[in-house]
Chain A
Amino acid sequence: MDVSTALQLLFSGLSIGAIYALVALALVIPFKASGVLNFGQGQMVTLGAYIALTLSQAGLPYYAVVPLTLLIAGLAGMAIERVFIRRLVRAPEFTIVIATFALGLMVQDAIRLHWQDNDFPLPVPFSTDPWRFGSVRVNPVFVWIVLATVVLVVVLAAFFRHSRAGKAMRAVSQNQEAARLMGISVEGVFSATWAIGTAIGALAGILFAPVTGINPGIGDLIIKAFVAAVIGGFSSLPGAVVGGLALGEIETFSGALAGSTLKNVSAFVVLILMLLVRPYGLFGTAGARRV
Chain B
Amino acid sequence: MRGASDLRKLAAMATAVLAALAAPLLFGTYGAYLCNLVLVNVVIAVGLNLLTGNAGQISLCNSSFVAIGAYVCTWLFTQQGLSFWLALPAGGAVAAAFGCLLALPAMRLSGFYLALATLGFLEITEVVIEQFPDITGGIRGMLAARPTLFGVTLATDRALYYTILPIVAVLVVVARNLLACDTGRAFNAIRVSPLAAQTLGISPARTKLIAFALAAFYAGIAGGLGAAVVGFIDPAEFGAGAALREVTFIVVGGLGSVAGSVIGAIVLTLLPELLRGVQEYADLVYAGLLLGFLMLLPQGLVRLPETLRRGRAPASPAGEPAAP
Contact = CB atoms under 8 A, between A and B. Distances in A.
Interface stretch (A52-60, A100-108, A127-135, A245-253): A100-108
B247 to A, nearest CB: 6
Given A37-B112, A272-B105, A279-B108, A105 B294 contact: no
Contacts of A96: 112
Given A105-B283, A261-B127, A275-B105, A226 B317 contact: no
Chain B at the A interface: SS class: helix
Interface residues on A, range: 35 or more
A164 interface: no
A97 interface: yes
B244 A230 contact: no
B281 A97 contact: no
Contacts of B324: none
A146 B203 CA distance: 48
A265 B298 contact: no
Contacts of B52: 94
Given A95-B294, A98-B247, A279-B113, A106 B288 contact: yes
Interface stretch (B86-94, B115-123, B147-155): B115-123
Contacts of B241: 105
B295 A99 contact: yes
Nearest to B245: A105
A168 B318 CA distance: 30
Contacts of A276: 104-105, 108
B58 A97 contact: yes
Interface in A69-94: 84, 87-88, 90-94
B43 interface: no
B251 interface: yes
Interface string B268-288: 000000000000110110011
B108 A102 contact: no
Contacts of A265: 124, 127-128
A102 B244 contact: yes
Contacts of B283: 105, 109
B113 A226 contact: no
A8 interface: no
A103 B244 CA distance: 11
A102 B123 contact: no
B50 interface: no
A95 B298 contact: yes
Given A95-B317, A99-B291, A230 B116 contact: yes
Contacts of B120: 223, 227, 268, 271-272, 275
A275 B131 contact: no
Nearest to B52: A94
B117 A87 contact: no
Most chain B beta-carbon neighbours within 10 Å: one of A110, A264, A265, A272? A272
B60 interface: yes
A289 B123 CA distance: 24
A113 interface: yes
Contact of A103 (B56, B105, B291): B291
Nearest to B280: A113
A39 interface: yes
Contact of B284 (A109, A269, A275): A109
Interface residues of B, number: 42
Given A94-B52, A98-B251, A106 B115 contact: no
A268 B123 contact: yes
B319 interface: yes
A233 B291 CA distance: 28
A102 B294 contact: yes
Contacts of A269: 124
A290 interface: yes
Contact of A264 (B112, B131, B244): B131
Most chain B beta-carbon neighbours within 10 Å: one of A91, A92, A93, A234? A92
Contacts of A105: 240-241, 244, 283, 287
Given A87-B317, A261-B127, A93 B112 contact: yes
Nearest to A83: B295
Contacts of B105: 272, 275-276
Contact of A275 (B56, B113, B240): B113
Contacts of A110: 284
15 contacts: A88-B317, A90-B317, A91-B317, A94-B318, A95-B317, A97-B115, A99-B295, A106-B288, A230-B116, A261-B127, A265-B128, A267-B123, A268-B120, A268-B121, A290-B112
Interface of B: 52, 56, 58, 60, 104-105, 108-113, 115-117, 119-121, 123-124, 127-128, 131, 240-241, 244, 247, 251, 280-281, 283-284, 287-288, 290-291, 294-295, 298, 317-319
Interface of A: 37, 39, 84, 87-88, 90-99, 101-103, 105-106, 109-110, 113, 223, 226-227, 230, 234, 261, 264-265, 267-269, 271-272, 275-276, 279, 289-290
The 8 closest A-B pairs by CB, nearest first: A93-B111, A95-B318, A271-B120, A268-B120, A109-B284, A102-B287, A106-B287, A105-B287
